Chain A
Amino acid sequence: MTRPSVKQVWEWLETIPDPEIPVITIVDLGIVRDVTFDGDTCVVAVTPTYSGCPATSMINMDIETCLRDHGLDKIRLTQQISPAWTTDWMSQKARAALEDYGIAPPQPAGGPQRCPRCGGDHLEKLSQFGSTPCKAQWRCRDCLEPFEYFKCI
């Protein structure tokens, strides 16, 4: 096949959902750092969200499968840890999608702005940690529902 453009590869990657939070894509999440070609090998640089996140290996497999499905067979994935991933790299689209999905998006203030269910702002932290390394557990005192907050790092 003819070599696809870098832009084309980015478009393909933009269709890959995050394995834990499928409403956002890995590109929205900001973990795909670079796409280049080394000769005819497609090199994708990926950075982990949290260093021990078990979704990392799944994401790598999803990238490889996606690119193979589009006819690329020479693929190299590299892990880039510096600069460290930050929630600042998450797109606005992703923040809105997270909130729709019931996960409060990260805030620089260090806690959720409002309850993703009722919009209430009387909130309390239940635990610094949640169902995945990137989330904490909070509760809304207005609607009394617990919800997850995407931690700001």
Chain B
Amino acid sequence: MAADTEKLLQFLLRTGDNTLVLSHRVSEWCGHSPILEEDIALANTALDLIGQAQMWLGYAAQVQGDGKSADDLAFLRDAWDFRNVLLCELPNGDFGRTLLRQFLFDAYQSVLMGRLIKSSDETVAGIAAKASKEVAYHVERSADTVVGLGDGTAESHKRMQVALDYLWPYVGEMFESDAVDTAMAEAGIAPDPASLRADFDALVGRVLAEATLTRPDSPFTHKGGRTGRMHTEHLGHMLANMQWLQRAYPGCEW
């Protein structure tokens, strides 16, 4: 595989694995949400994310060019081959933490998709155009919920602040750059993640202020997911669940 192709593949895996892993996490709420409307909303969000994962990983498989499919990439890789940011694989915690994580990811995704629409790679631009319409609905809802819970009761406010303190150290990884990002930016395929930070901060700052939540000021960042250097212990457990059918019955199809 040529160096450029390998880098494009890494970019697609990172983008696709974010949506795949988060989709699975969000789907864990199915049947357990506080009220029916929220259950349906979470299930629908998970569905959109898995649809996006199918498109990103479908293109990744095509770029890889060895006859594999999006399903192969989703179900036949183990933790060390996943390239999602750590934020996406964290356990759900309570409803508030799940929605706050969703908002942080949606905010990042809405800024990223807006830029990818102008990608020099036609397929990337096409997928981003499709996904951005769904992401617009996601961020609207998750932002509303963060405000509702943050600026809610004393208990909901306290839980949201605890969730924000827990999640914030995972935000920085989304804006880390390495050789893959440099190559993508040079080819006009994807923006340098660092360049997304200002728009992200503006959006998140506005919503957190309205939610009466205090953004932690520690610059510390957990990382290692998008480079594949080190995932959290949680990903392996999640994959054991997500991939159990292929592990129990290798090659099973229907």
Contact = CB atoms under 8 A, between A and B. Distances in A.
Interface of A: 48, 50-54, 81-86, 126-131, 133, 137, 151, 153
A81 B55 contact: yes
Nearest to A85: B130
B49 interface: yes
28 contacts: A48-B51, A50-B48, A51-B54, A51-B55, A51-B130, A51-B134, A52-B48, A53-B47, A53-B51, A81-B126, A81-B127, A82-B122, A83-B126, A84-B129, A84-B130, A84-B133, A126-B37, A129-B37, A129-B41, A129-B141, A130-B44, A131-B40, A133-B44, A133-B48, A137-B37, A153-B133, A153-B134, A153-B137
B141 A128 contact: yes
A133 B47 contact: yes
A51 B41 contact: no
A52 B24 CA distance: 13
Contacts of B54: 51-52
A131 B122 CA distance: 33
Interface of B: 37-38, 40-41, 44-45, 47-52, 54-55, 122, 125-127, 129-131, 133-134, 137, 140-141, 144
Contacts of A131: 40
Given A51-B134, A82-B126, A84-B130, 14 more contacts: A51-B52, A52-B48, A52-B50, A52-B51, A53-B51, A81-B127, A83-B129, A84-B126, A84-B129, A85-B130, A128-B41, A128-B137, A128-B140, A128-B144
B109 to A, nearest CB: 13
Contacts of A137: 37, 40
Given A81-B126, A82-B126, A129-B45, A50 B37 contact: no
B21 to A, nearest CB: 15
B153 to A, nearest CB: 21
Contacts of A84: 126, 129-130, 133
Contacts, number: 70
A83 B132 CA distance: 12
Contacts of A153: 133-134, 137
Contacts of A53: 47, 51
A74 B48 CA distance: 32
A109 to B, nearest CB: 15
A107 to B, nearest CB: 15
Contacts of A85: 130
A129 to B, nearest CB: 4
A93 B48 CA distance: 27
B36 to A, nearest CB: 9
Contacts of A81: 55, 126-127, 130
Contacts of A50: 47-48, 51, 134
A127 B131 contact: no
Nearest to B41: A129
Contacts of A54: 47
A53, A54, A129 — which one has the most chain B CB atoms within 10 A of its CB?
A129
A105 B51 CA distance: 24
Contacts of B44: 129-130, 133
A53 B44 CA distance: 9
B38, B47, B122, B131 — which one has the most chain A CB atoms within 10 A of its CB?
B47
A52, A83, A85, A126 — which one has the most chain B CB atoms within 10 A of its CB?
A52
Nearest to B52: A51
